[in-house]
Amino acid sequence: MRTPFSLLAERWQPSAAMVRRAAFAALVMSVVIVATGGAVRLTASGLGCTTWPRCTGDSLTPTPEMGFHGVVEFTNRMLTYVLSAAVGWAILAARCHRPWRHSMTRLGWAQFWLVMSNAVLGGITVLTGLNPYTVAGHMIAAMALVWVALLMWERSKEGDGAPRLSVARPIHQLSYVLVAVVGLLVAAGTLVTGAGHHPGTPQDNKIVPRIPIDYDRLAQFHADFAFVSVGLTIALIFVFAAVKAPPAAKARTKELLAVLLLQGVLGFIQYFTDAPELMVGLHMLGATLTWIAALRIPLALRTREEVALEQLPTQTPQTAAV
């Protein structure tokens, strides 16, 4: 059974380096879409387009009357197509590479469906008037996209063999505990934003709901996770030194600590300066980089060898259609 993908694969076989570049491009765009989404909120352009999927009830694009806010919101929507193109390139490169690595193709399609679902969630966010809980869900879904994009990029540099741990299993599990804590740190940050100073519309707009919890308490709750994350990271640095973990794992843990400390400085500055837009934007970008830095640590604690061609799964009519 031939499909457009299989026909293309007969005529174009990208190199492994091209697959890595395509996966990296998808990862970069997943970070960019988080940053531009933050810019929409921080420029008070969250309702620059008043509905979804059109920008207004009568126009697909912003009208001159919508001004700057309409342009910002619509630009962020258009960047979703650039992200989709990057993900599409990654899917095609993985599918047409020889030998065909099914796991890479699945990771590419997982990104595609995350992009589509997050676009719908973004539309729901607009239709619900920037409800803070849907905004938080929109951010968390974007972080899920970053996770899968990072995993595809890291897998593009490995083989398809069974993973082999480079450290004892409890230490590997401890690295995932750190990932979970950093994930909770990021999630807590979305709650702080939902109760904070930037609802996504001009300050005189009282229609946008806010999370009905004291802002200072949520900020302290967020800071507590930051302290735990820093403590766990320092502990892992000493553990990795004691067990002679791979150099890559040691380096990545130190990188995470550096990003966490920088995030802490940014967080304290924005808290005591009444959350200026630039500081909040840098903090959001830092949150994405912190998430990436944490996710890379467990991936440095195992190896995957190349699989001989005869050991790869054979293509069947069912898999050929993927």
For 199, phi and psi rounded to 5 degrees?
-70, -15
| pLDDT, mean over the chain | 90
Alpha-carbon dihedral of residues 29, 34, 37, 38, nearest 10 degrees?
A: -140
Better pLDDT: 199 or 151: 151
**Which two structure tokens, joined as six digits, stand for 274?**
């009444």
Q: What is the pLDDT of residue 206?
A: 57
Summarised one tens digit per residue, pLDDT across range 141-166 is: 999 999 999 999 999 998 888 889 99
Summarised one tens digit per residue, pLDDT across range 205-244 is: 557 788 899 999 999 999 999 999 999 999 999 999 999 9
Q: What is the pLDDT of residue 204?
A: 56
Better pLDDT: 315 or 167: 167
Is residue 19 within 8 A of residue 104, CB to CB? The reply is: yes
Residue found under tokens 């970069």:
28
Lowest mean pLDDT among 258-267, 283-292, 310-319: 310-319
For 196, phi and psi rounded to 5 degrees?
-95, -150
